[in-house]
Structure 1
């Protein structure tokens, strides 16, 4: 039996970035499912380094072309290249003569905006990043937002703010707060990335602006680490980044066997919206209820009680409970429990934590208490809930 030729493929990604990480995971999924005869070359710490790449004597390169430096460096290489990155409204912006697999920037923004419309909002804005060559993907998302707003004959309010560093952090946050205070409310804000969404969410909390009653926020990336760094769970549009990786790997495999690549980019749509509290706008008329819900979103999982909510609002327990029953048809305790239950469900669905850790992290304190709440509210045990969700996804539940 003839041994298949082993091809040497370099992956040029910064896997510390969520999009690059997911694309790389998609390449790995293709590699694992097809048993392609590849030796993969990556930097040991997964960072992107270009020095000397044009002299690399391999068989192919898959790289993120969102960075202009990558495109420039690979223009001098003789090996087959597959590019990935964001989509462009102008076809002339795609690299000439290089097969390209893109995440659909227009659809990402459109899906975020449609979600905000679906929850009942009528005003929209975007929080972007300063325009640089490396941020072309963000500029495309800005253009998509402008186009969508123009279609509805609405103004497209876009705020870029400044880049953040240790020295500029206070200035950046203050600029975000000033912008937020000047935006007509209620408003739905699309952040061009989860990192930007997290910053804006933090600025709202510092400024005492209720999320999502006054400002509903949705990001793009669905980065689980960023979500863990927010007090209020963050909604986000899910890239089809793993599908981008699989498609790029398939293109490379075809090119290695002499198949000519397509002349037009392959554009991959987003996978959906991961909806959490930050964007779940609900029209609330009573200011006590608005302030109380904002407080509960931040601290429900830390074990707060109705008395602490009432103290935060500045009224008695009976008053805040009466306000909740009149506005929402339930008690403060019911709302706190609902947030704890949602946090527990999200923890179980991730499949990363033990049931004991999920119980502690969600504020349900113990496996016994969590078991009791799940049986009463959902009719099943936490373990049965987790196993069912993971089974539906085709994943194996941890022991």
Structure 2
């Protein structure tokens, strides 16, 4: 019998060769926030398509200083540039590196791939202007955290073009956290002094959640008196808020994927780009914290509150009319005059927005989401969602998480 020699691309030796060709990449990014984890998911997706990378990564919190381990040896770094020490470590090891954070400066040593800050501020301002808001506020990060003010400046500049001004909340000099837990007295004074209704742009979902909770404690209605839009997503914190917090969808997975692609090109010898790579935000993810339609008609406002409170029930226009003690025809006329929409349209819009929120930010099944929006038969919910959004629930969930 003639023996057969192993082919060059088979057997243990080729497996070891394959392992040696995989990129070894350090990921120096916090893992405590949903935004960062989405960035990391984008990095992982690119790496998988590229044949697989071997990552060095450790669970990290927002306030931790991250360093390259002394014993680690690899070919590149994707980081949140939290300190000059980290820059020096990257330079000393002559490692290609890409920064995915708004912290730090773009440089040939550590170029940036980040969400477009200016576009985020502009998008927030245009969203509020298109909704008819006239008064605006901004709650940013404390200056000690050293973030740039590009989002705020773009927000202010875009509103200035519409002859609108922005009231800024000034943090206490000693504040060094991305929450407002130690600033409640000052925040209460600031909120009470704002003209109402007012539209706020806030730095984090955590700040938005605290403001929503605080407004309830001092008798201010969200979103009727104060609308809240967060720059950065955290669905868990949003779910724990008295009302879900709207946010700017910065497309963090795309940030991660493009950062990984740039790192790969730099490892192969390409120079860093002269300017930061800016990823445009996708949309405003609307949630109840901005779900306000301006009406002076108290009956219509009462009807809208009833619709919001009963979104998990299969309510009809007749139920709304009965609640406000007027006929269906009168209710429809008042809605048309106040909103240029029918009560039925507002019911559908409210249910659709809540379904989109649950699809995007929870792991509930489509059937469970149907129940929570007042549809006891899945087929009815599927037809409703497709008709109102142009997508099936599954298609929407997939596209929202890209």
Distance 2:394 2:314 in 1: 29
State the Cα distance separating 1:182 from its structure 2 match: 1.2
Which runs of structure 2 are paired with 1:258-273 in the superposition (5 Å)? 258-273=269-284
Distance 1:247 1:276 in 2: 28
State the Cα distance separating 1:215 from its structure 2 match: 2.3
Distance 1:220 1:12 in 2: 22
Structure 1: give runs of 5+ residues left out of the alignment.
none
> Aligned match of 1:79 in 95, 99, 104?
95
> Aligned match of 1:155 in 160, 165, 182?
165
What's the CA shift string for 1:247-293, capped at 9, x where partnerless?
A: 22112212222222223221222122212332243221024543664
> Aligned match of 2:365 in 338, 354, 361?
354
Q: What is the total number of aligned residue pairs between the two structures?
A: 373
Asked if the contact 1:128/1:196 (under 8 Å) is kept, the reply is no
Q: Does 1:235 align with 2:246?
A: yes
Distance 2:394 2:284 in 1: 22
Q: Counterpart of 2:212 in 1: which secondary structure?
A: helix
Q: Counterpart of 2:259 in 1: which secondary structure?
A: helix
1:318 alignment partner in structure 2: 325
2:130 alignment partner in structure 1: 118
Do the aligned partners of residues 208 and 7 (structure 1) sit closer, same or farther apart at CA in structure 2, a change above 3 Å counting? same
2:43 alignment partner in structure 1: 27
State the Cα distance separating 1:28 from its structure 2 match: 0.7
Asked if the contact 1:9/1:40 (under 8 Å) is kept, the reply is yes
Do the aligned partners of residues 116 and 146 (structure 1) sit closer, same or farther apart at CA in structure 2, a change above 3 Å counting? closer
> Aligned match of 1:223 in 209, 230, 234?
234
2:201 alignment partner in structure 1: 190
Distance 1:144 1:378 in 2: 35
> Aligned match of 1:201 in 207, 212, 215?
212
Deviates more, 1:349-358 or 1:274-283: 349-358
Asked if the contact 1:210/1:291 (under 8 Å) is kept, the reply is no
Asked if the contact 1:164/1:172 (under 8 Å) is kept, the reply is no
Asked if the contact 1:240/1:270 (under 8 Å) is kept, the reply is yes
Q: Does 1:327 align with 2:339?
A: no
Deviates more, 1:71-80 or 1:96-105: 71-80
1:97 alignment partner in structure 2: 109
Asked if the contact 2:81/2:103 (under 8 Å) is kept, the reply is no
TM-score, normalising length from structure 2? 0.76
2:301 alignment partner in structure 1: 290
